[in-house]
Structure 1
């Protein structure tokens, strides 16, 4: 028994056999449909030349989702080069060719993003331009939809536009004319994206059976079905956004074996807040998960905006980043510092495990055969006024880069003494883990420079970092100590320095 992948393309339903589940959206577009406006650059979700828009029903997303809502659908920019075709099931795909609105060749009216790039000389070789156009088209649609409800709404500033374009790379023109075009575009009202009728068509697709090929690909739609599948097929590969395993295919040519896609499991797409914890499901995107975290801990905003680029954040998941277990992952240090727990499931059985205990060794974790991560829960007691939470990322490039060192800090003061401290670092060992010696040096001590120096000395004994292409061991040790000093400078009882003054960001303010 098998069922095809069904989605909307050019406003019409298409059915694609599910027997090649790791075929990417980009390959299908260029090779099967000759839709060559979408370009292949890096094939790893880094350059944004392949950016497309995926539309879905907004009621399937968590409350507060950061997807663009317009005409009854929710839009996300994603990288076509690492997006597997089964993840499009029940959704709509829009590419740069859709901006012509179906008009005959030679009669099209350019989308405001396209016209502005022409007027502002925002393209040189032009290879990256379709990706910029699609990202800008999403920004334009978001602004116009916002103005539909609030005609006096202000347009995003230059800094916010630069953040929106963080997943698009230009090596020819540079960003000044592209940002000029983005600002000019926002003054134009139309034409807009061809979204009319999409909602009704997406509703009609909901009745279609999930794509499947026995022994190859499965797309469960509820948690119970996923649990049974995982218990029966413990060796199958779980796939959410494929922002990591997609590179195993495009760069390493690795076969992934039998696949179980998580994106249609309704229970895993939820963000739920109780009186004691914030629960983020395993299929919640990075963008939505970070927005929920920042809403409660505003100091995490910097990590949110620098965690990959928007097309990756709109596809990948926070739980996927945690389960991956990379020692340079940016999610684990923050969540370990916040005291997060993983909710693990195998069949009908559930158990909880502190995130800090999940990582056993380099790329090894505590999952048992047939078990999977259902959600991550962050305790909300760190919202108290006496707690401070921070996240820091040091990388060679401001946007869309892998960290050399990342850190998550949670600190509680009682008066001028340190009552509790959780310091977690990435990039300093084979796993992300807490700095036990530095924490011990802080506990019960007055939060003074002398205490900071003692903690920095202990920190040097907590880790033995490696030298690699991203940083030397000495640089990592010095950087880890400097990040701890940032924490002290911004939280010291006397004359604290605002955290934003301790960061270097040459980007024009929003």
Structure 2
């Protein structure tokens, strides 16, 4: 296959990159090649937001519900992402906006309103995290200026959930976030960018193929190995590439033969850490993010069908709209830059035992549509995981979409996450619950936990303790006791075995308190965050 240079729009022009390893990150390119050092490296794992940039691409059109949470500026859709775990080849045909670009959007002013507000409100001390905050705020600024709205202080706090500051404190940063809307406006002119991106698209074959030497992994002759990056745009192209890929096998003793590893890549929110932190060999990369057929969200057969490449931000927004009980999880599922880059399909297919998506979807009886070539098969999510980081995908098969049945109106649904930090933190454990009563008895129940075993799985004994029983405190306590038969969790840095079991039991108990037949408790009485929000609402209303 012919190889092409990586071409994208940056600093007012189309730039191209080649002869860099395909796992070169956007952050590395910015600082080491483009010499744009405003963007900083903090954690190098998508946790702190110091490296936040904005990626723009041509909008897919009004028919794509998967664009709903992107920031729309004319023909462009913008998303804040972490540059430290974004691979450079994924920028082909897109635009990269960094802190250096902002002043050009306000040529008659010394600074962009976002930057000026940070200055006016003394929202920066050491300044290391400031460019990342500025870019996250710019995404919020562009969104709300575009639709003429003004976000609340809490909405702005949610927008900044993926950015950490160690010295300034968040009060002046939130002051700046509100202040930026009071300054003379500045808007991005999308047309020059859109024209450049259309020209790149017209000159890009399907698949886009880029090859580059990787000196970290020499070949049998000691030369820098050539790694390849494939970015198909059509589902048929993706299926053909994967079906034709040989099963990986090692070379012979002389170093000859063998098959090249081909790694499926979506948002790189996990794979990016494999190379950043563990220095793992991922071989050739097959990127699914440009396959239009994998980025749709549709209502079908009384449920949602979510394409495997739909960003987490859009997927969870659609789920939370259909099932309001998932709203808290939608906000606590990582921070915005990770949610805009990562995909629901990647979160499920990766199979992390502490992934936040699987427990809630398992409780809703979600199913996966798997594809090889043109053939598809359907598998319940709770049958997909075979062991730690192992799943039921066959050679040449990939995840096409996720089917989520919408629960019956009488079904009580809950999605819980327990972590050391409220926002943007990895789970110690997570839980999905769905329960429906037939009269006074439990007619349907699903309880799934992550972080309690080598895989996310349902609590079969706890479900059995409830199913067919009267919905009562005694039945719930029996289910709580049964969790010890379902799980023997490990102790690690996030939580001990005893703590995990205690929290799992308490989550069932809280579900009972909020859903018991007599005198159920309101969330403000059982949840600290809900209680704080209620107190804030009362204080703002002036009620006694």
Normalised by the size of structure 1, how large is the TM-score? 0.95
Partner of 1:44: 45
> What are the Cα deviations for residues 78-129 of structure 1, in whole angstroms up to 9, with x where unaligned?
000100011111111100000110789xx85211111111111110100000
| Residue range with higher mean Cα deviation, 252-261 or 495-504 | 495-504
2:323 to 266, 273, 297: 297
- Corresponding position of 1:282: 308
Aligned to 2:218: none
Aligned: 1:226 with 2:256 = no
Matches within 5 A, 1:121-270: 121-147=122-148, 153=149, 155-210=150-205, 211-213=208-210, 216-233=228-245, 234=247, 235-270=261-296
8 Å contact from structure 1 (residues 109, 191) kept in 2: no
Change (3 A) 1:299 1:178: same
Q: CA deviation at 1:20?
A: 2.1
Residue 95 of structure 2 corresponds to residue 69 of structure 1:
no
Q: Which shows bigger deviation, 193-202 or 349-358?
A: 193-202
**In 1, Cα distance between equivalents of 2:136 and 2:190:** 16
After superposition, residues 461-500 of structure 1 pair within 5 angstroms as 461-500=485-524
CA contact 2:106–2:112 (8 Å) conserved in 1 = no
SS in 2 for 1:2: coil
Alpha-carbon distance between aligned partners in 2 of 1:60 and 1:309, rounded to the nearest angstrom: 26
Q: Residues 102, 335 of structure 1: CA spacing in aligned structure 2 closer, same or farther, 3 A cutoff? A: closer
Which residue does 2:254 correspond to in 1? Answer: none
Two-structure CA RMSD over aligned residues (Å): 1.8
| Structure 1 residues 370 and 19: CA distance shift in structure 2, 3 A | farther
Q: Distance in 2 between matches of 1:387 and 1:205?
A: 49
Deviation at 1:507, TM superposition (A): 6.6
Q: Deviations over 1:217-258 (max 9, x none)?
A: 111111111111111115410001000000111111122101
Residue 361 of structure 1 deviates from its aligned partner by 0.9
Q: 1:85 aligns with which of 69, 85, 88?
A: 88
- Size of the aligned set, in residue pairs, is 500
Establish whether residue 449 from structure 1 lines up as the match of residue 467 from structure 2.
Answer: no
Give the Cα–Cα distance (whole angstroms) in 1 for the partners of residues 110 and 370 of structure 2.
52
2:349 to 323, 335, 338: 323
Question: Is 1:393–2:417 an aligned residue pair?
Answer: yes
Contact 1:269 1:283 (8 Å CA) reproduced:
yes
> Is residue 412 of structure 1 aligned with residue 436 of structure 2?
yes
Gaps of 5+ in 1: 148-152
After TM superposition, the runs of 4+ consecutive aligned structure 1 residues lying more than 4 A away are: 506-510
Aligned mate of 2:402, from 372, 376, 393: 376
8 Å Cα contact 1:137-1:193 kept in structure 2: no
Aligned 8 A contact 2:5 2:17 in 1 = yes
Post-superposition offset of 1:259: 0.7
For structure 2, list consecutive stretches of 5 or more residues without a partner in the other structure: 212-226, 248-260, 538-544
Per the alignment, residue 363 of structure 1 pairs with 389
